[in-house]
Amino acid sequence: MQMWIKGGRVLDPEEFDGPADIFVEDGRIARVQPAGQGVEAGFPADAEIIDARDLLVVPGLVDMHVHLRQPGQEYKETIETGTRAAAAGGFTAVCCMPNTSPVNDSESVTRFIIQEAGRLGYARVYPVGAVSVGLAGQQLAEFGDLKTAGAVGVSDDGQPVADAQLMRRALEYARGIGICVISHCEEKALAGGTMNEGVVSTRLGLAGIPNAAESIMVMRDIALSELTGTPVHIAHVSTRQSVEAIRAAKVAGIAVTAETAPHYFTLTHEAVKAYETHAKMNPPLRTETDRQAVIAGLADGTIDAVATDHAPHGVLDKQLEFDQAANGIIGLETALSLGLRLVDAGLLSLGQLISAMSKNPARIIQKPCGLVSGLPADITLIDLSARYTYHAADGYSKARNTPFDGWQFKGRARYTIVGGQKVFDSQNHANL
């Protein structure tokens, strides 16, 4: 199957930005050439042509933090619905967290996820295995087996590794194997509340979670990264203090990388104001000062990646008293539009946003990403001027738990291409 992506603005951050044609052959990028030179010699006349005039053509977006819920919680999401949501959001690859049932602490669960995602074909799925058996924080999982089966990282996401010695051993073990260690930083002893500790929690009478609950463990893991000489990746950064600690660590030459999620650069704890459970997540939405610090961290490269922490839940998981409701929101279908708001506001360049949503996360999980001949043809075409209202009920995710329902956006994925196959077309939802 051949494809000619014709006349778009091709943006491969730090490599190329300009009008160009991309030829795809056998699932890979065969050639990128300046626009207007016509068909490459020998390229078949019956190739599928995608008219990319007025579209931005970028490396396929990579979300390094999602929850696909399968196996075990298929009423919330499945690999099928989650990867279709990914494709609709412009993502060609996602990393799925191990807090499934059973927990992904073994080769067999990792292989099942990869096999199922491969059969469906909507997005590449790179599993993240557990750091500890059963996420119990006692005994390390078999990182070597997980890596052999296809896992790209290990994390006890949602269940922070409380024992500093176990985290040290995890980093030492991971270094030999070359697998990414992703840390959900949360000091549980400080995190007994249900939202950010501040004026809003006081007003609502809800127990709060201070910023220090996150930054204490960020600082610990930076120290352990330095001690072991092993890279560590900090998940979903939400606080000013975490950004400052990561910035200082990078200056000191410590191999730390970090991600944040769109809700942390878009919303604050004010979004909880009417006990809104769709604004409940872990870590919680913070203050305006923290939101600004997260944006500054993205702008100066302290925060490498934007990841969604896509966390689907059933309706009944959220229709509860605030303290009883589940944590987390879906994010695959809104992340790109929320990121483009930062570009429109002049806070990030387009190249910075696209890097944070494609090449940077790909580099952290050691997967190829870019618009260069020979690489897999994972490509996202974006209509920067498309205006639309997001309705969660029309989304591909099985879940509806989002604070962005009804928001008006500018800019979205027009086509998503995985391995040379069109898996999403925003103007033709059938037949794909």
**Residues paired with residue 387 on neighbouring β-strands, in sequence order:** 410
Contact predicate 217/191, CB 8 Å: no
Nearest CA-CA partner of 263 in 250, 276, 249, 248: 276
Selected range binding Zn ion among 178-186, 203-211, 333-341, 387-395, rule: CB under 5 A: 178-186
Nearest distance, CB of residue 29 and Zn ion, angstroms: 34
**Helix, strand, coil percentages for the chain (3-state, nearest 5):** 35, 25, 45
Nearest distance, CB of residue 128 and Zn ion, angstroms: 11
Please say whether the dihedral angle defined by the alpha carbons of residues 297, 331, 366 and 357, taken in this order, is positive or negative.
Answer: negative
* Residue 280 within binding range of Zn ion, rule CB under 5 A: no
Which of residues 6, 76, 147, 184 is near Zn ion by CB under 5 A? 184
Q: Is 278 annotated as a binding residue?
A: no
Dihedral angle computed from the Cα positions of residues 246, 238, 94 and 347, in that order, rounded to the nearest 10 degrees: -80
Nearest distance, CB of residue 235 and Zn ion, angstroms: 5
- The dihedrals phi and psi of 243, each to the nearest 5 degrees, come to -60, -45
Q: Is 146 annotated as a binding residue?
A: no
User: Please, which residue, 58 or 335, has the CB nearer to Zn ion?
Assistant: 335
User: Please, which residue, 328 or 339, has the CB nearer to Zn ion?
Assistant: 328
C-alpha–C-alpha distance, residues 136 and 377, integer Å: 39
Please say whether the dihedral angle defined by the alpha carbons of residues 296, 300, 302 and 303, taken in this order, is positive or negative.
Answer: positive
Q: Is 104 annotated as a binding residue?
A: no
Q: How far is CA 253 from the centre of its chain?
A: 25
Selected range binding Zn ion among 83-91, 100-108, 152-160, 421-429, rule: CB under 5 A: 152-160
Which of residues 63, 77, 80, 157 is near Zn ion by CB under 5 A? 157
- 296-355 binders of Zn ion (CB under 5 A): none
User: Please, which residue, 184 or 247, has the CB nearer to Zn ion?
Assistant: 184
Selected range binding Zn ion among 170-178, 182-190, 193-201, 240-248, rule: CB under 5 A: 182-190
Burial letters for 204-241: b for 16+ Cβ neighbours within 10 Å, e otherwise?
bebebbbbbbbbbbbbbbbbbbbebebbbbbbbbbbbb
Selected range binding Zn ion among 184-192, 209-217, 257-265, 344-352, rule: CB under 5 A: 184-192
Q: Is 269 annotated as a binding residue?
A: no
Reply yes or no on whether 309 is catalytic. Answer: yes
User: Please, which residue, 25 or 317, has the CB nearer to Zn ion?
Assistant: 317
C-alpha–C-alpha distance, residues 28 and 38, integer Å: 20
* Residue 221 within binding range of Zn ion, rule CB under 5 A: no
C-alpha–C-alpha distance, residues 3 and 21, integer Å: 10
User: Please, which residue, 262 or 420, has the CB nearer to Zn ion?
Assistant: 262
Q: Is 53 annotated as a binding residue?
A: no
Amino acid at 422: K
User: Please, which residue, 59 or 158, has the CB nearer to Zn ion?
Assistant: 158
63, 221, 309, 317: which is the annotated catalytic residue?
309
Instruction: Summarize the annotated binding site as residue ranges.
Output: 65, 67-69, 99, 157, 184, 236, 282, 309, 313
Catalytic residues: 309
Residues that bind Zn ion (CB under 5 A): 157, 184
Instruction: Summarize the annotated binding site for Zn(2+) as residue ranges.
Output: 65, 67, 157, 184, 236, 309
